[in-house]
Chain A
């Protein structure tokens, strides 16, 4: 349940930006979450429900854009989107690869009033 720590962080950042723009209520929070960030969206939503209670984000909509993983094979240089973290290179079958994207955890924007 490290999603609790992550959600705490999300609400902290959200509150800071809401105050800076003199908003009283947060209606929507948009996140980008990498497919390989190790975050469970279900647990994140649960954490949101618990932690947003009695805050200006209570009842807000949580919108998540999932960022697919993309990596480059260290053996043959092919760039591919692995179907899961254990998938080898589709060209040569190699397992050693460098991740280009897929570990993102970002608060992109919010809708406030």
Chain B
């Protein structure tokens, strides 16, 4: 094909982030082959991802083998907090990258002891925008929103919430003190995350944690039997 001024047109028709798609599919096949249920945990900074996982690792220790991959821009503070549980924890320090991608996760998985855990939590970088676009090869996406963040988080960051399989409303013990309008939050979640289950909990008091554990056990039983992955990842229609 030719174009004006001595230039010519090259037809490319290549999907962007296709590299991420290759890695995420490799990851998912590896997780499936090893019977490892993988959850991508997403939220803004400070919504309580690490506290939730600390409590989960402690409460479920001895009943199921768990592991964590934790992404942060800098520091290994979160990894050190989580390591006290005895579960294997691999830290990814992304330097200045605002999200985890499937290749980073693949490298981190190779640092985990074998066999892989029965449940692997991937604590993403605290960010409600960029991580939404990157499929890591997970089976479920879990989005956290804390009662202190305001009820409109789901409608301000609809892409992330619309791809969630579960929304955990965290810090429920201080909902009243934070002036949290529960009805409004639930309406917003219904609009932004119509496919997601919603559980309200407090990792500090333990309220609601049993529902989260039931959800996890249920997902473990259902693993591989539903189409969880169909809404994943921008650019991979």
Query: What is the size, in residues, of chain A's interface with B at 8 Å between Cβ atoms?
Result: 40
Query: Are B97 and A110 within 8 A (Cβ)?
Result: no
The stretch of B37-45, B154-162, B217-225 in contact with A is B154-162
Which residues from chain A contact B15 at a C-beta distance below 8 Å? 105-106
Q: For the complex, would chain A's binding face be called helix, strand, loop or mixed by DSSP majority?
A: mixed
Interface contact A95-B191, CB-CB below 8 Å = yes
Contact check, A2 vs B10: say whether CB atoms are below 8 A apart: no
Tell me the complex Cα distance, A108–B8, Å.
14
Is B81 in contact with chain A by the CB < 8 A criterion? Answer: no
Contact with B along A1-27 (1 / 0, CB 8 A): 110011001100110011001010001
Contact assessment for A14 and B12 in the assembled complex, using a CB-CB cutoff below 8 Å: yes
Q: Mark A95-112, 1 if CB is under 8 A from B, else 0.
A: 111010101111111111
Contact A105 B235, CB 8 Å, known A2-B133, A5-B101, A113-B6: yes
- B10 and A86 contact, CB distance less than 8 A: no
A2 touches B231 (CB 8 A): no
A77 within 8 A of partner (CB): no
Contact with A along B221-233 (1 / 0, CB 8 A): 0000000000101
Contact check, A104 vs B190: say whether CB atoms are below 8 A apart.
no
Known: A17-B10, A27-B7, A106-B15. A2 touches B98 (CB 8 A): yes
Residue ID in chain B nearest A14 by CB atoms: B12
CB contacts under 8 Å to A, within B1-60, are 3, 5-19
Residues A107 and B101 in contact, CB atoms below 8 Å apart? no
Residues of A near B87 (CB, < 8 A) are none
Q: Which residues of B contact A31 (CB under 8 A)?
A: 16
Which of B3, B16, B129, B195 has the most chain A CB atoms closer than 10 A to its own CB? B16
> Cβ of B99 < 8 Å from any Cβ of A?
yes
Please, which residue of chain B has its CB at the minimum distance from the CB of A101? B237
Q: A2-B98, A17-B12, A101-B237 are in contact. Are A113 and B7 (CB under 8 A)?
A: yes
Interchain residue pairs with CB less than 8 A apart (19): A5-B17, A18-B10, A34-B234, A34-B237, A38-B132, A38-B159, A86-B191, A88-B191, A96-B195, A97-B194, A99-B231, A101-B237, A105-B15, A106-B15, A109-B9, A109-B10, A109-B11, A112-B10, A113-B5
**What is the interface of chain B, defined by CB distance below 8 A to chain A?**
3, 5-19, 97-99, 101, 129-130, 132-134, 155, 158-159, 162, 190-192, 194-195, 231, 233-237
User: What are the 4 closest A-B residue pairs judged by CB atoms, nearest first?
Assistant: A105-B235, A2-B130, A95-B194, A105-B16
